[in-house]
Amino acid sequence: MILLHSDCLVFKMNNGESVPCSAETITVELLGDAAELIDPEIVQHAAATVLYHFKTDLGKTVVSVQEFSLALEKILRGFGLSIVAADAAPEPLRMAEADLRLLACESGKGYELAFFSRLREELRRRLDHEPQVLRFRGLRGCVKQLTGARRWCGRCRRLNDQIVDYLRGCLHEEKCARPCGLVVL
């Protein structure tokens, strides 16, 4: 068996091939053009940290490129940098959206009482799809429609706050399988 240099690991490539390489060299390769934008000292420290983690903490000398890039990404985030591997396309957010003005219209003559009941039903229906972000739009128009106001007033502001607080409370009470952000526009 060949003895690896102290700053090297054996990298398993996606095609199954294993290649010994220094951690700093593979770091520069993974970062690509972004490596030129980062202070070289930070790149050295990040590579050394990831190397130490795999060799000392985990006792590994053979790692996949994906394992190394994920660890490197985490370390660089610790330095305050936002780096995403070039081959790893970010997963799009699962988003659910509802129109508050439409819900106000559908509430008919029941005004606020029917509206809040309808709003809770809509929130539950949207949460069934397990979104990462739940967005309700049309708040201002909804409030003006429910209050019958032509111009924004104190009553509108109070109802506006009431709707937002109600949505927060409903979301908090629902048993979501995954965390879900709430946006009300």
Please state the rounded mean pLDDT for residues 81-98: 68
Cβ contact 136:100 at 8 Å: yes
In angstroms, the CA 96 to CA 136 distance is 9
Read off the pLDDT band of 153 (50, 70, 90).
very high
Residue 110 sits at the vertex; the CA angle it makes with 104 and 111, to the nearest 5 degrees, is: 50
DSSP letter for each residue of 60-74: -SEEEHHHHHHHHHH
pLDDT in tens, 32-49: 766 666 777 777 777 788
In angstroms, the CA 22 to CA 25 distance is 5
Q: What is the pLDDT of residue 91?
A: 60
In angstroms, the CA 135 to CA 143 distance is 16
Please indicate, yes or no, whether the overall pTM of this predicted structure exceeds 0.75: no
CA quadruple 157, 161, 166, 171: dihedral sign? positive
| Residues ≥6 apart with Cβ < 8 Å to 97 | 126, 134, 135, 136, 137
